[in-house]
Amino acid sequence: MGVKDSLLTEEMMDTIIANAFEWIVVVNHEGNIIYMNDSYCEFIGVDNKEVIGKHVTEVIENTRMHEVVKAGKEELADLQYIKGNYMIANRVPIFNKNGEVIGAYGTVIFRDTSEWDKMNSHVKSMLGRIRNYLQEYEQQTGVKYTLEDIIGNSKLIKLLKDKVKQIAASDVSILIRGESGTGKELFAHSIHQLSNRSQMPFIKLNCAAIPEHLLESELFGYEEGAFTGAKKGGKKGKFMLADGGTLFLDEIGDMSLPMQIKLLRALQEGEVEPVGAIKPIQVNVRVIAATNRPLEKMMEEKRFRDDLYYRIHVIPFQIPSLRERTEDISLLVEHFIQKICKRTGRRITSVTEDALDVLSRYRWPGNIRELENVIQAAVHLSTGEKLTVEVLPDYMRDSYSIPIGSKSLKETLEDAEKQAIIQTLEKYQNDKLVTAKQLGISKSSLYEKLKKHKIQ
């Protein structure tokens, strides 16, 4: 056999593609079919010569080939319902040398439904095992989130993720600062999950959610008969439950001074004394604290102890607000759309540019928590495949619209000035000296403007 005889000929290629295990379809830039292999035609029950030139939606049920051509974005391993069965479809856009979409090709696998059922059962079995393992890990340790759950590619988020990796293995105390809704708890979980204590408990306590008279017993536990209504056998506190692992104290800035003293002693001595106990109990706990309060100002006002502050503030973490990392909004929106659609069964593929522009310019006082709630409502209100401006809250759409003709230029400028002052004050936790510096004005000028705009 010569070299020429061993080359792959055009006829051979045609035969291979026509009879390939995968079903193959190719469409042009208008979504019209220009090729469909014999296997696909045979399954659907059409003549491959008759389908040429027809729009793909007329031939293949539940197809999205025309959408891939429009968006220029590939869709891999997507489930497609064809003739009573779910198949696995891959759709890939075809570009010319100038980067323009000139068509798309798609493949569908598992034409043998019995084979698909077998694979489906295997996948479900494996997913079940993985889910059980994750649930068991969560039950044993209390960890729900990892570093992968923190969505964002902004410089600030990348730096924080790197910082988590650097210090997770150490046992030093960490104070996580940030506004409400920025994801402080996600970072706490991630630090524990990457630490040497990852197989030990992760216990959390919201200091603001527990009444003052119950906080001591929640933290340190109590002995049987310590007070009226005490459980038989007593109760372990959060410190003892976290022994060997990590204790996450959220909203630590809301803790009273008497409790701060008891917490400091536990951290310094490495021991706790349950209510009603005769002697203290040794514990080995790493503490991660979090707050959105201005602790430095509270220290000046004698509302937060200096010694406790320096004990928990060994490594500070400042989580940026959403308005400080607006470049992450598009990623977060996409993440929440997928998450909510998976849970609800809705099919929303993306967000329009106008809607994303409104979302990117909004101030987000509630940060990521508020964004998720907005996207959840928008998904339920949507009727198409994209989130549009119309399904966003009215206050969000109106917050950046300029009422042309209803206000003078002077009034519009004053409104803008007021918003700039409010946003800067929020960003720097009402620190007026820093706010004035950031705005490029004197402190006396800032106070005049606060009075003029009636800003408290």
SS (H, E, C) 208-270: CCCCHHHHHHHHHEECCCCCCCCCCCCEECHHHHCCCCEEEEECHHHCCHHHHHHHHHHHHHC
Domain endpoint, select from 356, 375, 398 = 398
Looking at residue 129, its pLDDT comes to 61
**314 & 347 share domain:** no
**372 & 393 share domain:** yes
Domain endpoint, select from 294, 318, 342 = 318
**313 & 347 share domain:** no
Task: Decide if 137 is inside a domain.
Answer: no
In single-letter form, the type of residue at position 252 comes to I
What is the spatial distance between Cα 449 and Cα 436, in angstroms, rounded to a whole number? 11
The helix or strand, by DSSP H or E, that contains position 433, with its residue range, turns out to be helix 432-439
**345 & 418 share domain:** no
For residue range 143-191, list pLDDT tens digits in order. 778 888 899 999 999 999 999 999 998 889 999 999 999 999 999 999 9
The helix or strand, by DSSP H or E, that contains position 337, with its residue range, turns out to be helix 329-344
Q: Whose CA is closest to 329, among 76, 157, 147, 144?
A: 157
Give the residue-averaged pLDDT of 271-299. 92
Backbone phi, then psi, for 290, in 5-degree steps?
A: -145, 150
Query: Is pTM beyond 0.85 here?
Result: no
**392 & 426 share domain:** no
Q: Domain with 276 in it: what CATH number?
A: 3.40.50.300
Q: Count Cβ atoms below 10 Å from residue 206 Cβ, excluding itself.
A: 15
Backbone phi, then psi, for 287, in 5-degree steps?
A: -105, 130
Q: Tell me which residue range forms the domain holding 383.
A: 322-398
* Ordered DSSP codes for 294-319: -HHHHHHTTSS-HHHHHHH-SEEEEP
Question: Which one has a higher pLDDT value, 404 or 446?
Answer: 446
**95 & 155 share domain:** no
Task: Decide if 336 is inside a domain.
Answer: yes
Q: At 179, is the secondary structure helix, strand, or coil?
A: coil
Backbone phi, then psi, for 102, in 5-degree steps?
A: -115, 0
8-state DSSP, 275: B
Contact in structure between 243 and 283 (CB atoms under 8 Å): yes
In single-letter form, the type of residue at position 402 comes to I
What is the spatial distance between Cα 276 and Cα 226, in angstroms, rounded to a whole number? 5
**196 & 79 share domain:** no
What is the spatial distance between Cα 356 and Cα 370, in angstroms, rounded to a whole number? 15
**153 & 207 share domain:** yes
**361 & 430 share domain:** no
Contact in structure between 203 and 238 (CB atoms under 8 Å): yes
For residue range 184-241, list pLDDT tens digits in order. 999 999 999 899 898 899 999 999 999 888 899 999 988 876 666 667 778 889 999 9
Q: Which two tokens stand for residue 177?
A: 């600062």
What is the spatial distance between Cα 83 and Cα 345, in angstroms, rounded to a whole number? 20
Tell me how long the chain is.
456
Task: Decide if 18 is inside a domain.
Answer: yes
For residue range 295-320, list pLDDT tens digits in order. 999 999 999 999 999 999 988 899 99
On average, the pLDDT of the chain sits at: 84
Looking at residue 13, its pLDDT comes to 62
In single-letter form, the type of residue at position 228 comes to T
Task: Decide if 219 is inside a domain.
Answer: yes
**46 & 85 share domain:** yes
Task: Decide if 404 is inside a domain.
Answer: no
Question: Which one has a higher pLDDT value, 423 or 372?
Answer: 372
Q: Which two tokens stand for residue 14?
A: 């045609």
**256 & 165 share domain:** yes
Task: Decide if 134 is inside a domain.
Answer: no
E strands present in 292-407: 315-318, 350-351, 386-387
Domain endpoint, select from 58, 81, 109 = 109
Task: Decide if 230 is inside a domain.
Answer: yes
Pairing mode, strands 75-82 and 85-95: antiparallel
Pairing mode, strands 23-28 and 101-109: antiparallel
Contacts of residue 240, defined as CB under 8 A and 6 or more positions apart, other chains included, come to 220, 221, 272, 274, 281, 283
**162 & 239 share domain:** yes
Task: Decide if 233 is inside a domain.
Answer: yes
Give the residue-averaged pLDDT of 382-405. 76
Looking at residue 415, its pLDDT comes to 74
pLDDT band at 440; cut points 50, 70, 90: confident
Q: Domain with 326 in it: what CATH number?
A: 1.10.8.60
Domain count, the chain: 4
Contact in structure between 252 and 288 (CB atoms under 8 Å): no
